[in-house]
Chain A
Amino acid sequence: MSKKLIPVKAEEPKAESVLREIMSGDPVRIGLSILLGFIIGAVFMVVFSEDVVDSWSQFGADPNYALSTVWWTLQDGYGALFSGSIYNLNADNFIDGIRPLTETLRFAAPLVMAGLGVALTFRVGLFNIGATGQIMVGLAGATFISTRVELPQILHMLLAVMVAVLCAAVWGIIVGILKARFGAHEVIVTIMMNYVATSLFTFFLREPAFLLEANGGGTPKSDQPADTARLGKLLGPEFNLHYGLIIAVLSVVAYWWLMERSTFGFRFRMVGHNASAAKAAGIKVENTFIWALAISAGFSGLAAANQALSIDGGLTTSIEAGIGFDAITVALLGGSRAGGVVLAGLLFGAFKAGASSMQVAGVSPEVLGVVKALIVLFIAAPPIIRAIYRLPKPGPKMLEAVKKTEKAGK
């Protein structure tokens, strides 16, 4: 019949299409962003190294020396990152050699769990930055169970995990209801809820009636979690890696199933891509927001349980360790997909694991902060990466195959 070819027009407003591009996470663009982040991080490392500055001041006298100090500085810095996060080449035996990798896994686990939570809301079209607050209330819940309740082994741990998830979910539901019923913007609400949760957790830690350690003084600190509630060591006493990793793996599977296989995920994605069409298809968009924020916060609650139940000694607010904030980056970096979040979580876990050995090697680990920030910057500004690597602009393009079928007219 028709032999017409009608190009698809990109009619959405610019800001919205950029946001979509950011949250959609094209793997090539993300990979290039990471590469560029490391390259510019290297520049920082070199420029702020005293050795390099000294050697370059005598560049005329000894150019070879100047160039080699640059090389050695980079090798020291990123080499330390490698041996601190993947395999320690200087180790005497295999156990010591592989330890950095298990540390990376240990650091990655909570990042992945919280990252999945943030990723879920991204796919529903919500820019949820409330993981920090959700983790805080989760920490409070888990710690209350682990320090103030006595239960047998395993049961105690499971209850603590569940309470952490529930507390966090309630925190997420509050945001969902404020958005669904009163139209409050989730970005503002989650930021404010982060402040409230952080202060609330500190308050609990100060209060003898809630979390303050026995015979505790003015410093906000809890008791050590009861042994019955702790997440056990996964690979024996030689390694710090604990059962949190198993929870993380289960979370990834659950997230994948929820988003890709279940009808809930289908509706979540539908609302995320086109809320208006979802509404016309009989979906209650507001309720979907509430559900998404609740489940998302539940994942953050798992990250909280991971932190609260694996610590040696009492908890302070520093146990959150920036996970809630890194989770946003992990979700962005992972393109909000299960597999992507795992890879991004591993990268950020490696940063955390490698930071200390970089310091030992005499390279400021803050360079990693710069690298992280740059990666986010590049991901948040797709046009920069496209310009630097001369990538084609994604646009109103029709697939060749579509054109052919339409032209052929069957």
Chain B
Amino acid sequence: MKLELRNITKSFGTLVANDNISLVLKPGEIHSLLGENGAGKSTLMNVLYGLLQPDSGEILIDDKPVKFSGPGDAMAAGIGMVHQHFMLIPVFTVAENVVLGHEPTSKLGALDLNAARKLVTDISNRFGFDIDPDAMVRDLPVGSQQRVEIIKALARDAKALVLDEPTAVLTPQETDELMEIMRGLAKSGTSIIFITHKLREVQQVADRITVIRQGKVVASPSPKSSASELASLMVGREVELDVKRKTAKLGDESLVIENLTVLDDRNHQMVNGVSFSVRNGEILAIAGVQGNGQTELAEAILGIRKVHSGSITVSGKDVTKSTVRQVLESGLGYIPEDRKKDGLVGEFSIAENLMLDGSFTAPFAKGVQIDFAKRDQIADDLIERFDIRTPSADTLAKQLSGGNQQKVVVARELGRDLKVLVASQPTRGVDVGSIEFIHEQMIAARDAGKAVLIISTELDEVLALADRIAVMYRGKIVGIVDAKTTREKLGKMMAGIAA
């Protein structure tokens, strides 16, 4: 099937999300759509999938214009979408999930599960998916769940597949397997639109690349382009992918975690006997696929999650049972993984957000009153120092872009006198320019002799920043290795295979 998007324009208010975008997907082709967060990729795909109607432009299938008023139309036309967040029912089997919504029935109208099983087995065998149709979805690893999503689309005769950031939740090995599957699908004639911001994957698998920036197609570079060429096209200027750094000057162990065990809200053991320490002047990065206990570890260090057993020491002081306020006052700075949920108050101004955890004491508080003059002065200073792009300190945080919001959080935490910085996913959903800046700030904190703990699922980020790397898998530290460790070895560790 040949799929074409012709001159698609879609705007929201004054924001033009898609500006005259054209794209051709040939049969059996893997077409990579490359762009930063907010470049307009998702809008374009929502237009293709019938979730949004374009202001102008048309969609053509085999050179015939079509009109989709909803995902149902798109599916009927042979377009399948695998979302970043899976749309599966965990307590159903693979077969049940695959046929959900268009169940094969016997003559009497009863669900024909055998037909469903056969459908799954057929597709699974054809592409070498290795999926048991009777397995409960919740028991499958994430990589397999993703395959179930792909089977779901193929079961509805999808000729064109859209994969939206499919590797975000995968280990490097699972990613390689997905690349294999994509090639197999393409060989058998299925066309694939592959949305990602990871350059390595694009180079590996794409037949053709389209780069989108600020709603416009800016280039269609060859798949042989180098990573920095692709990055420059994505951002629109030269990008320095490697962070320059001096050798570490190590000091005392300011953050010591010993034998830490933490439970999640459902009393599952998410962190299981973890021990490590971070010294002043070094960056320890915790690598691992999302959901292996990193979130709970970070929350336990800050004290918003209770420690089940073990201990946490911040610059010599046991803070295992301390309140959040005591932990913060002991000199720990915290950048949460979800800034909108835990890091910012969207309805508050930048100035207010910069004093979020400082309302108890000077300089922000004067007795029980807020010292507005000081507050504004500190805000102006931090806005300047941390390059927060805003018309004024009174702008509401929710009106800023992701990168600038994150800079507000970073500015607040690094703006006070710290000994330890714990940063969870410090650059998630942040534009490349801000990523560079935030990385520089992390390195600067390290060079200033602070102990920095970075928790990241992005292997590139870990490799760019870390002095040492700890890999976490199913709540345990698989190993703590040197920053020069190869990607392959780290990938194996992320899958639980000890070095």
In whole angstroms, how far apart are the Cα atoms of A405 and B369 in the complex?
Answer: 32
Are B14 and A400 interface neighbours, CB within 8 A? Answer: yes
For A395, list chain B residues within 8 Å (CB): 13
| Interface residue A266 (Cβ < 8 Å from any Cβ of B) | yes
For B356, list chain A residues within 8 Å (CB): 270, 277-278, 281
In whole angstroms, how far apart are the Cα atoms of A410 and B433 in the complex?
Answer: 14
For B433, list chain A residues within 8 Å (CB): 1-4
Are A406 and B38 interface neighbours, CB within 8 A? Answer: no
Which residues 348-367 of B sit at the A interface, judged by CB distance below 8 A? 348, 352, 355-357, 359-360, 364-365
Contact code string B425-441 (vs A, CB < 8 Å = 1, else 0)? 00000011110110000
Are A1 and B437 interface neighbours, CB within 8 A? Answer: yes
| Interface residue B304 (Cβ < 8 Å from any Cβ of A) | yes
Contact of A280 with B359 at beta-carbon distance under 8 Å, contacts A4-B401, A402-B395 already known: no
Contact of A261 with B38 at beta-carbon distance under 8 Å, contacts A399-B399, A402-B391 already known: no
For A270, list chain B residues within 8 Å (CB): 345, 348, 356, 359
Contact of A282 with B431 at beta-carbon distance under 8 Å, contacts A273-B347, A402-B395 already known: no
Q: Separation in Å of the A281 CB from the closest CB of chain B?
A: 4
Are B395 and A2 interface neighbours, CB within 8 A? Answer: no
Are B403 and A262 interface neighbours, CB within 8 A? Answer: no
Contact code string A246-279 (vs B, CB < 8 Å = 1, else 0)? 0000000000000001111011011001101111
For A7, list chain B residues within 8 Å (CB): 12, 15, 17, 38, 401
In whole angstroms, how far apart are the Cα atoms of A269 and B336 in the complex?
Answer: 20
| Interface residue A39 (Cβ < 8 Å from any Cβ of B) | no
For A1, list chain B residues within 8 Å (CB): 387, 433, 436-437
| Interface residue B34 (Cβ < 8 Å from any Cβ of A) | no
| Interface residue B36 (Cβ < 8 Å from any Cβ of A) | yes
In whole angstroms, how far apart are the Cα atoms of A284 and B15 in the complex?
Answer: 40
Please pick, from B14, B334, B343, B352, the residue contacting A266 in the complex, using a CB distance under 8 A: B352
Are B302 and A280 interface neighbours, CB within 8 A? Answer: yes
For B431, list chain A residues within 8 Å (CB): 2, 4, 6
In whole angstroms, how far apart are the Cα atoms of A397 and B398 in the complex?
Answer: 9
Query: In the complex, what residue of chain B is closest to A281 when comparing beta carbons?
Result: B357
Count how many chain B residues have C-beta atoms less than 8 Å from C-beta atoms of the other chain.
Answer: 61
Contact of A3 with B236 at beta-carbon distance under 8 Å, contacts A261-B370, A399-B399, A402-B399 already known: yes
Contact of A6 with B370 at beta-carbon distance under 8 Å, contacts A280-B336, A402-B395 already known: no
For A261, list chain B residues within 8 Å (CB): 369-370
In whole angstroms, how far apart are the Cα atoms of A146 and B174 in the complex?
Answer: 78
| Interface residue B456 (Cβ < 8 Å from any Cβ of A) | no
Contact code string B17-56 (vs A, CB < 8 Å = 1, else 0)? 1000000000000000000111100000000000000000
| Interface residue A11 (Cβ < 8 Å from any Cβ of B) | yes
In whole angstroms, how far apart are the Cα atoms of A403 and B346 in the complex?
Answer: 17
| Interface residue B390 (Cβ < 8 Å from any Cβ of A) | yes
Contact code string A360-395 (vs B, CB < 8 Å = 1, else 0)? 000000000000000000000000000000000001
Count how many chain A residues have C-beta atoms less than 8 Å from C-beta atoms of the other chain.
Answer: 42
Are A282 and B369 interface neighbours, CB within 8 A? Answer: no
In whole angstroms, how far apart are the Cα atoms of A34 and B436 in the complex?
Answer: 51
Query: In the complex, what residue of chain A is closest to B302 when comparing beta carbons?
Result: A280
Q: Separation in Å of the A377 CB from the closest CB of chain B?
A: 25
| Interface residue B453 (Cβ < 8 Å from any Cβ of A) | no
Contact code string B322-358 (vs A, CB < 8 Å = 1, else 0)? 0111011100001010001111111110001001110
Contact of A263 with B365 at beta-carbon distance under 8 Å, contacts A2-B235, A280-B343 already known: yes
Are A282 and B336 interface neighbours, CB within 8 A? Answer: no
Are B401 and A11 interface neighbours, CB within 8 A? Answer: no
| Interface residue A396 (Cβ < 8 Å from any Cβ of B) | yes
Are B401 and A282 interface neighbours, CB within 8 A? Answer: no
Are B214 and A267 interface neighbours, CB within 8 A? Answer: no
Please pick, from B329, B348, B369, B403, the residue contacting A6 in the complex, using a CB distance under 8 A: B403
In whole angstroms, how far apart are the Cα atoms of A277 and B357 in the complex?
Answer: 9
| Interface residue A217 (Cβ < 8 Å from any Cβ of B) | no
In whole angstroms, how far apart are the Cα atoms of A85 and B34 in the complex?
Answer: 66
Are A282 and B324 interface neighbours, CB within 8 A? Answer: yes
Are A277 and B342 interface neighbours, CB within 8 A? Answer: yes
Are B304 and A279 interface neighbours, CB within 8 A? Answer: yes
Q: Separation in Å of the B387 CB from the closest CB of chain A?
A: 7
Q: Separation in Å of the B363 CB from the closest CB of chain A?
A: 12
Q: Separation in Å of the B67 CB from the closest CB of chain A?
A: 25
Are B345 and A274 interface neighbours, CB within 8 A? Answer: yes
Contact of A264 with B368 at beta-carbon distance under 8 Å, contacts A4-B431, A284-B323, A405-B390 already known: yes
Are B343 and A282 interface neighbours, CB within 8 A? Answer: no
Query: In the complex, what residue of chain A is closest to B361 when comparing beta carbons?
Result: A263
Contact of A4 with B38 at beta-carbon distance under 8 Å, contacts A263-B369, A406-B404 already known: yes
Which residues 382-440 of B sit at the A interface, judged by CB distance below 8 A? 387, 389-391, 395, 398-404, 431-434, 436-437
Are B38 and A5 interface neighbours, CB within 8 A? Answer: yes
In whole angstroms, how far apart are the Cα atoms of A328 and B431 in the complex?
Answer: 44
For A410, list chain B residues within 8 Å (CB): 387, 389
Contact of A262 with B395 at beta-carbon distance under 8 Å, contacts A5-B401, A8-B400, A280-B334 already known: no
Q: Separation in Å of the B239 CB from the closest CB of chain A?
A: 11
| Interface residue A409 (Cβ < 8 Å from any Cβ of B) | yes
Are B341 and A276 interface neighbours, CB within 8 A? Answer: yes
| Interface residue A398 (Cβ < 8 Å from any Cβ of B) | yes
For A404, list chain B residues within 8 Å (CB): 391
Are B437 and A263 interface neighbours, CB within 8 A? Answer: no
| Interface residue A209 (Cβ < 8 Å from any Cβ of B) | no
A residues with a Cβ closer than 8 A to B are: 1-8, 11, 261-264, 266-267, 269-270, 273-274, 276-284, 395-406, 409-410
A-B contacts, 26 listed (Cβ < 8 Å): A1-B433, A3-B214, A3-B236, A4-B36, A4-B38, A4-B401, A6-B36, A7-B38, A8-B398, A8-B400, A263-B365, A263-B369, A266-B355, A277-B344, A279-B324, A280-B334, A280-B342, A280-B343, A281-B324, A397-B13, A399-B399, A400-B14, A402-B395, A402-B400, A403-B14, A405-B391
Supply 11 further A-B pairs (C-beta < 8 A) apart from A261-B370, A278-B356, A400-B14.
A1-B433, A262-B369, A262-B370, A263-B365, A280-B334, A281-B328, A282-B324, A395-B13, A399-B395, A402-B400, A409-B389
Q: What 6 pairs between A and B have smallest CB-CB spacing?
A: A2-B433, A282-B325, A6-B38, A6-B401, A281-B357, A401-B391
